[in-house]
Amino acid sequence: MMAVAAALVVAQTALADDKLVDSVSVDVATGSKVQMVRFSAAKDWDVKWFQSNGTNLSGYWEASTGIWRENAYMNQPGVEHKLWDIGFTP
């Protein structure tokens, strides 16, 4: 997991001039029977629409993927269950 986080940081530095990705993040959480890790990358559109009275409409895209792991699926110790989540926000 740390290798993936390091790779994301290196990729961010390498792509800084191209502005393909503005930011990356790694989310990690753990509980007594559940662990989760998620990786995401985002790009600000850097566009302002409908500017009026100091307000505007803008946006960004974000792509993410993550995995949840349960160690005691259906309350049975040692029975593991995984769930992947994939997201895209325009």
Mean pLDDT over 9-27 rounds to 74
More confident residue, 14 or 35: 35
Question: Is the pLDDT confidence value at 87 over 70?
Answer: yes
Q: d(Cα 57, Cα 48) in Å, to the nearest integer?
A: 6
Cross-strand bridge partners of residue 61: 43
Rounded to 5, what percent of the chain is helix, strand, coil? 20, 50, 30
pLDDT tens-digit map of 22-76: 999 999 999 999 999 999 999 998 889 999 999 999 999 999 999 999 999 998 9
Where do the domains of the chain lie? 21-46+58-89
Entry pTM: 0.66
DSSP-H helix ranges across 1-90: 2-14
Please tell me whether residue 4 adopts helix, strand or coil conformation.
Answer: helix
Question: Is the pLDDT confidence value at 6 over 70?
Answer: no
CATH architecture of 21-46+58-89: Single Sheet (2.20)
Q: Are 38 and 64 in contact (CB under 8 A)?
A: yes
